[in-house]
Amino acid sequence: LRVAISYPDLYEIGMSNLSVRLIYRLLNSLDGVACERVFAPAADFEAALRARGRPLCSLEGGRPLRAFDLLGFSVGYELTFTNLLAMLELGGVSLRCGQRTAEEPIVIAGGPAVTNPVPFGAYVDAVFVGEIEGEALGLFAELARRKRGGAGRAELLEILAAAPYVWTAG
């Protein structure tokens, strides 16, 4: 299960977010889960990516965002949501949930700015309500197990939607 997580802001700000650091460590401790990090590019780097037609990639593996199974965003305040959208676009991921294909990642958000998930429902496939840290191990272990068994995007999204602490628009 390939997961990229982000605090949708510059690296210097995102790496100071304890949730991202904790979730990164937790997910990488699970068998069958590979978690990488990605952050919003500075304006000059974003312009260079766009000018060269290059995708936004993860830090560890240099993998384009579109190549992951799941993209997780810890949204600390509402103004970073536009960064999340820019990151999706730069990573080659459709902005709207309804336009995403079976080959695109599931987009998950969590954090204090999405405690009311409805306004974000057109753009994120799922929202963790509450603290993910207590539930992540079991849920992501199950997602990894199902992925190893051949589950695709739709089945993984069904597993997420069945969790009582995950909100989905569908």
Say if pTM beats, i.e. exceeds, 0.85.
Answer: yes
Residues contacting residue 4 through CB under 8 Å, at least 6 positions apart: 35, 36, 37, 38, 58, 63, 65, 68, 70, 71, 72, 105
Q: What is the DSSP string of 31-93?
A: TT-EEEE--PPPHHHHHHHHHHTPPPB-TTT--BGGGSSEEEEE--SGGGHHHHHHHHHHTT-
- Contacts of the segment 43-52: beta carbons below 8 A, 24+ positions apart: 46/86, 46/90, 49/90, 50/90
Q: What is the pLDDT of residue 43?
A: 96
Give the amino acid at 138.
G
Tokens 């958000």 found at = 109
Tell me the average confidence (pLDDT) per consecutive run of 10 residues in the chain, 170 residues long. 97 90 93 97 97 97 97 93 96 96 97 90 93 80 96 96 90
Q: What is the pLDDT of residue 140?
A: 94
